[in-house]
Amino acid sequence: QKEVEQNSGPLSVPEGAIASLNCTYSDRGSQSFFWYRQYSGKSPELIMSIYSNGDKEDGRFTAQLNKASQYVSLLIRDSQPSDSATYLCAASTSGTYKYIFGTGTRLKVLA
């Protein structure tokens, strides 16, 4: 059974701090990884995709990928209360076009 695992949280961080969200995956054939943000009552919104080992930065967000350890992370710098949401990690499955989603980590940024 191919899986993507995330700590459900809540992860609470003070405003202005760095929030670190982590994800592990079981399918060694996965090549593409995605982070989605989902506000309560809304649909998932793509915020980052990463395909190669290392870091990828986009504004306050940095995605990190380590394929050897089967580990993906998302760092949010200068966290804002508006970042409070559930963050979903997804991994592509080898040989298909579909993703496996984790169950999400709930982030709370405290003002």
71 lies in the binding site for another protein (CB under 8 A):
no
∠ at Cα 16 (47, 85), nearest 5°? 40
56 burial via Cβ count (<10 Å: 0-12, 13-18, 19+): middle
Q: Which of 65, 104, 105, 109 binds another protein (CB under 8 A)?
A: 104
By three-state DSSP, how is residue 70 classified? coil
* Residues in 20-59 at the binding interface with another protein, rule: CB under 8 A: 32, 34, 36, 42-46, 49
Residues at the site binding another protein, with contacts judged by CB under 8 A: 32, 34, 36, 42-46, 49, 88, 90, 92, 96-99, 101, 103-104
